[in-house]
Structure 1
Amino acid sequence: MKSLIAKKIKQFDYTLLFVIVFLAVFGIMMVYSSSYTIAYVDYGIPNYFYRRQLQWLFIGLFFFVLAAFFPYRVYSKLSPLLVMASILLLILVLIPGIGSERNYSQRWIELGPLAFQPTEVIKLFMIIYFASFYAKRQQTISHFKDGVLPPMLILAIIFLLILKQPDLGSAASILFVCAIIVICSGVKMKHLFMLGCVGLVGLLFFAYSSPYRVERITSFVDPFADPFGDGYQLINGYIAIGTGGMWGTGLGNGVQKLGFLPEAHTDFIMAIIIEELGMIGLIIVICSYMFIMFRGVRIARGCKDMFAKLLAIGITFQIMTQVVINLGAVSGLLPITGITLPLISYGGSSLVITMVSLGILLNLSTRDTGTG
């Protein structure tokens, strides 16, 4: 047993590990810098959010190490249970008294002092389920009814339950990543086209079926039309970004976090990074994520096992999808959805699940799964 662990340790992708640790430590630093003012105002403790994020990071590191050594094929066997758990969690979060409402969304389950977002867990569960299903159905992948359709029915249920919270951003990201797994599994082009049309029509319908969602989608087009309402957050994000320039104002010297920019330590933390560290900070963060994507795709290509290949692809693109949605929102290119920046934004559920996912990816980087 010890020899197997020692062998695995030698085979880990240590460049990937370094970048993961770097982003996690950088995130802790930026959470403190972006939150100490609001933490003092709301709780009387300047390092309130920093301490909580640090605690979540230690928990995440524990599960990261566990996932890096845990036999990944077990996840495939557990996938039916993970699907049932996903549906159960999404039903529980909608029940008053169990689910907790914040910022007009019922996305949290509270267990005493502990609160977590089921959607973050379900992102990983759905990746495992889709990777497992399509890896097992390679012989019937050309048959739509038996080889393609069943997971789509599960995805539709998950999608609708997440919309009830409401959380269109997470629902859309799960939909997109599952689509990537389907594409990489070898499904026929005509089936992909059919599913793509249905998915796009459904997404557009639900996006414009609620005045709340329409406002969130359209406010980014012209935030200055309502500068003290729907456009307030984005405008102050622009101010932070414009102030940063190339080199920034210096770590800790940002102004927008002093009560001007809402959610400065969560989904708009990149605006603070640019304000304090400038475009150099942005370039470093983007390059780090691009490196994770490059290594993730390389790991997937090297896996001989189809389940491992699809699992690596799903995890890699789940992280990159969140990065694109978050940076798109901060820059005004995409609607603001509340999607956090992986490893960097404040948020325990997101941080722990991201660490678990990357632990699995590191696990798959060993030669046991066929990577070179």
Structure 2
Amino acid sequence: MYDRTLLWLTFGLAAIGFIMVTSASMPIGQRLTNDPFFFAKRDGVYLILAFILAIITLRLPMEFWQRYSATMLLGSIILLMIVLVVGSSVKGASRWIDLGLLRIQPAELTKLSLFCYIANYLVRKGDEVRNNLRGFLKPMGVILVLAVLLLAQPDLGTVVVLFVTTLAMLFLAGAKLWQFIAIIGMGISAVVLLILAEPYRIRRVTAFWNPWEDPFGSGYQLTQSLMAFGRGELWGQGLGNSVQKLEYLPEAHTDFIFAIIGEELGYVGVVLALLMVFFVAFSRDVDWP
């Protein structure tokens, strides 16, 4: 009925993530809420909800996703428009819809709905994609609509993820190589222009290439994360013993949690975590005794 290897790997990654978020979020939880386990409790609730949703999803037949893929995509487009009007702004980006107890990020729902829609489209229109340029360009039109809404937030990273994944799906469906070369060239040109159009994106790129050029400005977060990895060495400082999580590294319990894994669990812990992610991506059904 399901891949048990994939299931156990997923449980393992969820457990590691929960433990590390608990460790990394204690200082900021204490400062913001006077409860060092605030974020751990919240993530525990999210894990339970995710487990319930996973069970429901497991019970849904494949026909459900095929039948409602277009509806899901339309719903995602509506949510992307709503977030531009009533979305809560964090650090200059309006990407979340605040529902009180939790916040929804429509861009994440868009990933699921788009990939379901593209998969369904390729099943129905596979011959048209392989033999007709129009069949290849139709998914690009959907991407264009989503890109406009996402860039208005702004969220260039999600646009790149959607674009690259859609191209990969079209490639696996047998689309012609010259079509990919043309679209990839246009995509790269568009990304470069979008980066050059916004000074903060230029700063991000330059900080990525050489964060030590401005270690207390645009490169601060990257340099602090590199220091965390450096302190971890081979075996790490030990669970709970990170120094960078003491609010030296911004977003240590979210965007930069991997740096805390490197500091506390070392090179060995980083490699094991990456191997688990690798096996999740490439796992296959295994015959169990």
The one-letter code of the counterpart of 1:212 is: Y
Structure 2 match to 1:3? none
SS in 2 for 1:93: helix
1:306-355 Cα distance to aligned partner (Å, 9 max, x none): xxxxxxxxxxxxxxxxxxxxxxxxxxxxxxxxxxxxxxxxxxxxxxxxxx
**C-alpha displacement at 1:146, in angstroms?**
3.6
Structure 1 match to 2:67? 77
Identity %: 35
Q: Could you tell me how far apart the structure 1 residues matched to 2:221 and 2:21 are?
A: 18
The one-letter code of the counterpart of 2:111 is: K
The one-letter code of the counterpart of 2:44 is: L
Which stretch shifts more, 98-107 or 221-230? 221-230
Structure 2 match to 1:201? 189
Q: How does 1:92-171 map to 2 (within 5 A)?
A: 92-95=82-85, 98-171=86-159
Q: Could you tell me how far apart the structure 1 residues matched to 2:66 and 2:77 are?
A: 18
Contact 1:250 1:277 in 2 (8 A): yes
1:268-324 Cα distance to aligned partner (Å, 9 max, x none): 1111001001011101111001111211xx47xxxxxxxxxxxxxxxxxxxxxxxxx
The one-letter code of the counterpart of 1:243 is: R
1:211-268 Cα distance to aligned partner (Å, 9 max, x none): 1211112211121222211111111111110000100010001100001000001111
The one-letter code of the counterpart of 1:132 is: N
Structure 1 match to 2:245? 257
Contact 2:150 2:156 in 1 (8 A): yes
SS in 2 for 1:108: strand
**C-alpha displacement at 1:134, in angstroms?**
1.1
Contact 1:144 1:191 in 2 (8 A): no
Structure 2 unmatched ranges of 5 or more: none
**C-alpha displacement at 1:50, in angstroms?**
0.6
Q: Are residues 1:289 and 2:244 paired?
A: no
Contact 2:130 2:173 in 1 (8 A): no
Residue from 53, 67, 70 that aligns with 2:57: 67
Q: How does 1:207-222 map to 2 (within 5 A)?
A: 207-222=195-210
**C-alpha displacement at 1:175, in angstroms?**
1.2
SS in 1 for 2:84: coil
**C-alpha displacement at 1:114, in angstroms?**
2.5
Q: Could you tell me how far apart the structure 2 residues matched to 1:81 and 1:208 are?
A: 35
The one-letter code of the counterpart of 2:168 is: I
Q: Could you tell me how far apart the structure 2 residues matched to 1:208 and 1:65 are?
A: 45
Q: Could you tell me how far apart the structure 2 residues matched to 1:265 and 1:171 are?
A: 24
Q: How does 1:190-339 map to 2 (within 5 A)?
A: 190-295=178-283, 298=284
**C-alpha displacement at 1:143, in angstroms?**
3.6
Q: Could you tell me how far apart the structure 2 residues matched to 1:142 and 1:115 are?
A: 40
SS in 2 for 1:227: coil
Contact 1:223 1:230 in 2 (8 A): yes
TM-score by length of 2: 0.95
Q: Could you tell me how far apart the structure 2 residues matched to 1:197 and 1:135 are?
A: 26
Q: Could you tell me how far apart the structure 2 residues matched to 1:273 and 1:283 are?
A: 10
SS in 2 for 1:107: strand
**C-alpha displacement at 1:17, in angstroms?**
0.7
Q: Could you tell me how far apart the structure 1 residues matched to 2:128 and 2:180 are?
A: 15
**C-alpha displacement at 1:157, in angstroms?**
1.1
SS in 2 for 1:141: helix
Q: Are residues 1:16 and 2:6 paired?
A: yes
**C-alpha displacement at 1:113, in angstroms?**
3.0
Structure 1 match to 2:47? 57
Structure 1 unmatched ranges of 5 or more: 1-7, 300-364, 367-372
1:71-124 Cα distance to aligned partner (Å, 9 max, x none): 0221111122122112111111111xx200001111101123331111111111
SS in 2 for 1:94: helix
RMSD (CA atoms): 1.5
